[in-house]
Amino acid sequence: MKALVLGHGYTAGFLTPLLLAEGWQVTGTTRDAPQRVLDAGATPLLWPGDEDALRDAIAGADAILISAGPDQGFDPALAAFAADFARARPRWLGYLSTTGVYGDRDGGWVDEGSELAPSTRRGRYRVAAEQAWQRLAADHGLPLHIFRLAGIYGPGRGPFAKLRVGTARRIVKPGQIFSRIHAADIAQVLLASIHAPRPGAIYNVCDDDPAPPEAVIGHAAELLGLPLPPAEDYASAEMTPMARSFYAESKRVANDLIKRELGVRLIYPDYRAGLAALLKVEETAP
């Protein structure tokens, strides 16, 4: 079986070893980091650069994962290879989206049936990309599955390094709630879907415990035995526009469907379990 990942980055680095363990051959595209793809066990293709080889990979793939995000409002994979995807016949096609498509819900719950109401430009781009893939799938019978990911964390993407050097910030915005997901749990959700395809499916991928961001920083500091960073009021805190945009939306994301339909049992059901595992990895690393 052959798998292709367009945009073989951080998340795909967790999926590829799972596929290899089952005997898959995995090819992944990268802009400029072929060694990172090789380190994960996949065969790298440069994109842009290796377009002809990539077209062959699309034609021959049994499973295709689109992990490349929108670029300037356009989906780069569709912009470059829509005709190739239209002719392809994978048994599974996955698109990684974001829970940002739901917009701000003032801390309320959303599930896969909730209205799409993005409140940021990135969210609007994702809605447009989802709809473009859905149109292509409908027109050409492609087995599309959409995965709406919450905030991703994992090894190398935790709060411990900033806490140790004193640069972590505890920004407090009353009522702010985020959902999160460990990259290893994303990988197991994707693998479960590959094992049990349901074309047209949409899944929220998040853990069981939406929480305020300051609670996560506080717990990480406690695990390290370090002082709690001082609270900073969101309204007056100095932040880049990008950093501030992450606080533009507050919602709780329901994950019942991945459990009920795919039989997923989260490895890290909340940030406490995830942070404890990250710290253990860091402490045992050479």
Angstrom CA distances, 70 to 43, 96, 249, 260, stand at 24, 11, 20, 30
Which tens digits make up the pLDDT trace of 139-161?
A: 999 999 999 999 999 998 989 98
Which tens digits make up the pLDDT trace of 117-142?
A: 999 999 999 999 999 999 999 999 99
Bridge partner residues of 65 (DSSP): 5, 94
Mean pLDDT, range 99-109, rounded to an integer: 96
The closest alpha carbon to 5, from 51, 33, 37, belongs to 37
* DSSP assignment of 76-87: HHHHHHHHHHHH
Pairing status of strand 170-172 against strand 25-30: unpaired
What pLDDT is recorded for position 242?
Answer: 82
Mean pLDDT, range 62-91, rounded to an integer: 95
The closest alpha carbon to 131, from 206, 75, 88, belongs to 75
Residue type, 5: V
Place of tokens 């094992």: 195
What pLDDT is recorded for position 244?
Answer: 86
Instruction: Extract the tokens encoding 193.
Output: 């879907």
The closest alpha carbon to 228, from 239, 216, 236, 243, belongs to 216
What pLDDT is recorded for position 73?
Answer: 79
- Between 213-224 and 271-284, two packed helices, what is the crossing angle to 10 degrees? 40
Q: Round to whole Å and give the CA distance between 127 and 121.
A: 10
Question: Is 286's pLDDT higher than 80?
Answer: no
- Which contiguous run of DSSP H or E holds residue 132? helix 121-140
Residue type, 66: I
Mean pLDDT, range 100-123, rounded to an integer: 96
Q: Round to whole Å and give the CA distance between 179 and 185.
A: 13
Report yes or no: 42 and 67 within 8 Å, Cβ to Cβ.
no
Q: Round to whole Å and give the CA distance between 182 and 65.
A: 18
Q: Round to whole Å and give the CA distance between 189 and 178.
A: 20
Instruction: Extract the tokens encoding 174.
Output: 């009353």
What pLDDT is recorded for position 285?
Answer: 72
Residue type, 275: L
CATH number belonging to the domain at 2-153+182-206+252-267, selected among 3.40.50.1000, 3.40.50.720, 3.40.50.880, 3.20.20.60: 3.40.50.720
Mean pLDDT, range 84-102, rounded to an integer: 98
For residue 231, the 8-state DSSP code is E
Place of tokens 């507050």: 250
Report yes or no: 187 and 16 within 8 Å, Cβ to Cβ.
no
Question: Domain residues of the chain, as ranges?
Answer: 2-153+182-206+252-267
The closest alpha carbon to 247, from 181, 162, 178, 159, belongs to 178
Question: Is 106's pLDDT higher than 80?
Answer: yes
Report yes or no: 143 and 94 within 8 Å, Cβ to Cβ.
no
For residue 196, the 8-state DSSP code is S
Mean pLDDT, range 35-62, rounded to an integer: 97
Question: Is 82's pLDDT higher than 90?
Answer: yes
